[in-house]
Amino acid sequence: MYSEFRSIDGIILIDKPYGLSSHETLQKVKGILKIKKMGHTGTLDPLATGMLPMCCGRATKFSQFLMNFKKRYRVIAKLGQKTSTSDSEGQIIHVRPITFTNLQLQKVLKSFHGKIKQIPSMYSAIKYHGHALYKYARQGIVISRKVRDAIIYELKVLGYSYKHKYLELDIICSKGTYIRTLIEDVGEKLNCGAHVISLRRLQVGNYTSFQMIDIKTLNKLVKYNINVLEHILLSVDNAISCFPEVNIVPNVIKNLQNGQKVKTHSGFINQFVRITEGINRRFIGIGKINNINELYSYRLII
């Protein structure tokens, strides 16, 4: 077991358990691994499970990029019932029969593809004056929420049953998509109502579910003095591997560190790029190319 807090750089993909907030999950992992500086990206509600990326040390500089990546969810919805919280924790406030056909279901789901507008649920993890909305909702306080934009890239039916009144969906969406709100809106369009009974995040950007580790397994491995970080810690630049690479010679690094621009021939105009240096292509940070092919630093790790 680790006895002292340490400085570690990298990314860990935690399988968040049901019932814990993202912050509570972070504190547990931080305590187990004794890592000084950690932060999570892409908050999950307590009732959701699945992928919660955690940035350690200098990787926290790049957390905003993880937040911007596409997310993949698997959700099971109960049909014919609308609840006060849009999930199974709330009171049933409306019951309706299920009358839609398979063709109507496909048509409704298709209508949610692309850009959509959402009003987040009061039982979401959005912060208002430093506190999650669901904490206000539990006190009976309603906060005005603005309409937000989201993008649905894929919305596939994995299974449904009229008899058992459930619908299982695979969803790929943009950041800022509220799945419970989406399910409630789908239920309204189907004229039967719906709420979430199970929600699991399976993917963030290029990270997939097989890379996750749950807290119980993590704790067990640490107790047995297994060097678990060797197996689960992802490199800092792993998070932005989808960005094009610009390789620079070592003698211009100081220029970037001092806020100066460096001439390139990359062609990645107005794009974020991964900056590497030398023949070993050591990752040094993220930059951007302006419209005259000059590279300037955005976040450096050195």
CATH of the domain at 117: 3.30.2350.10
Q: Are 247 and 296 in contact (CB under 8 A)?
A: no
- Judgement on whether residues 62 and 76 belong to the same structural domain of the protein: no
73 is in an annotated binding site: yes
- Per-residue pLDDT tens for 176-215? 899 999 999 999 999 999 999 999 999 999 899 999 999 9
- Judgement on whether residues 77 and 162 belong to the same structural domain of the protein: yes
178 is in an annotated binding site: yes
131 located within any domain: yes
Q: Are 272 and 287 in contact (CB under 8 A)?
A: yes
Domain that holds residue 194: 71-204
Residue 155 and residue 204: Cα distance in Å, rounded? Answer: 16
234 is in an annotated binding site: no
272 located within any domain: yes
Which residues are catalytically annotated? 45
Q: Is the pLDDT of residue 99 over 70?
A: yes
Q: Provide the domain count of the chain.
A: 3
**φ, ψ for residue 160, nearest 5 deg:** -155, 155
- Judgement on whether residues 100 and 173 belong to the same structural domain of the protein: yes
* Stated pTM of the model: 0.89
